Amino acid sequence: MTTQKQALPDFVREHDIDHVTLDIIENALKNIRHEMDRVLVTTAVSPVIREQADEFPLIADRKGRMIVGQFGSPVDTVLENSPYTVGELKDGDVIATNDPYMMEGSTSHLPDILLVRPIFHSDERIGYALQWGNLMDVGGSTAGSIPIDARSIFEEGVRMPPVKLYNAGKLNEEVLRFFCHNSRTPRETRADVMAIAAGTAAGAQRVKDICDRFGKDTYLEACDALLNRTRTSIISLIRQLIPEDQTFEFEDYTDDDGLGNGPIKLKLAMWREGDTLHLDWAGSDDQVPGPVNFLLNKEMFQMFAGVFLISAVDPTILFNDGYADIIEVNIPDGSILRPKEPAPLSNRLVVMARLFDVLGAVYAKAIGFNVSGSYGTSPNFVYSGVKDGGEPFQTMEILYGGIPAIPGKDGLDGHSWWPEFLAVPAEYMETYYPMIVDEYSARRDSCGAGEFRGGCGIKKVYRFLSDGSITYQDDRAHTFPYGVAGGKPGASSRKTLIRKDGEEIELPSKVRDVPVYVGDRLVFETAGAGGVGDPLERDPEAVAKDVRWGLVSPEAAASDHGVVVADGKVDADATASKRGELRSSRGELPGFDHGDLPALEEQRRVIAETRRRFNEWLSGELGAARTNSGG
DSSP letter assigned to residue 188:
H
In the predicted model, what is the mean pLDDT of residues 579-590?
95
| DSSP bridge pairs for 129 | 59, 117
Highest mean pLDDT out of 88-92, 103-107, 419-423? 88-92
Between 4 and 455, the higher pLDDT residue: 455
Q: Percent of the chain, pLDDT > 90? A: 90
User: Within 435-526, where are the H helices?
Assistant: none
**pLDDT digit string, tens, across residues 480-536:** 999 999 999 999 999 999 999 999 999 999 999 999 999 999 999 999 999 999 999
Please name the residues in contact with 73: beta carbons below 8 A apart, sequence gap of 6 or more. 58, 60, 64, 65, 66, 128, 130, 299, 321
273 has pLDDT over 60: yes
Contact 495, 507 (CB under 8 A): yes
Q: What is the DSSP string of 116-151?
A: EEEEEETTEEEEEEEEEEE-S---SSSTTS--TT-S
Q: Would you state the pLDDT for residue 371? A: 67
Q: What is the DSSP string of 157-169?
A: -----SEEEEETT
Overall average pLDDT of the 194-212 stretch: 98
Cβ neighbour number for residue 170 with a 10 Å cutoff = 10
490: closest CA among 437, 535, 550?
A: 535
For residues 135-139, average pLDDT: 97
Please choose, from the candidates 276, 223, 237, 238, the residue with its C-alpha nearest in 3D space to the C-alpha of residue 8.
276
Alpha-carbon distance of 455 to 442, in angstroms, equals 9
Q: Is 398 helix (H, G, I), strand (E, B) or coil?
A: strand
Helix/strand/coil percentages in the chain, nearest 5: 35, 20, 45
Distances (CA, A) of 69 to 37, 83, 201, 209, 246: 11, 26, 16, 19, 32
Share of the chain above pLDDT 70, in %: 98
State yes or no: pLDDT of 4 exceeds 60.
no
Q: Over the chain, what is the mean pLDDT?
A: 95
Contacts of 295 (CB under 8 A, 6+ apart): 100, 101, 104, 105, 108, 337, 338, 339, 345, 348
* Per-residue model confidence (pLDDT) at position 568: 95
Give the DSSP H/E element, type plus range, for residue 232: helix 216-241
Kindly report, residue by residue over 290-314, the tens digit of the pLDDT: 999 999 999 889 998 998 888 878 8
Domain spans of the chain? Answer: 19-234, 372-534+589-595, 598-631
pLDDT at 275: 96
pLDDT at residue 627 is higher than 80 = no
Alpha-carbon distances, residue 598 vs 58, 90, 447 (angstroms)? 44, 59, 21
pLDDT band, very low/low/confident/very high, at 370 (cuts 50, 70, 90): low
Q: Give the pLDDT confidence score for residue 3 in this predicted structure.
A: 45
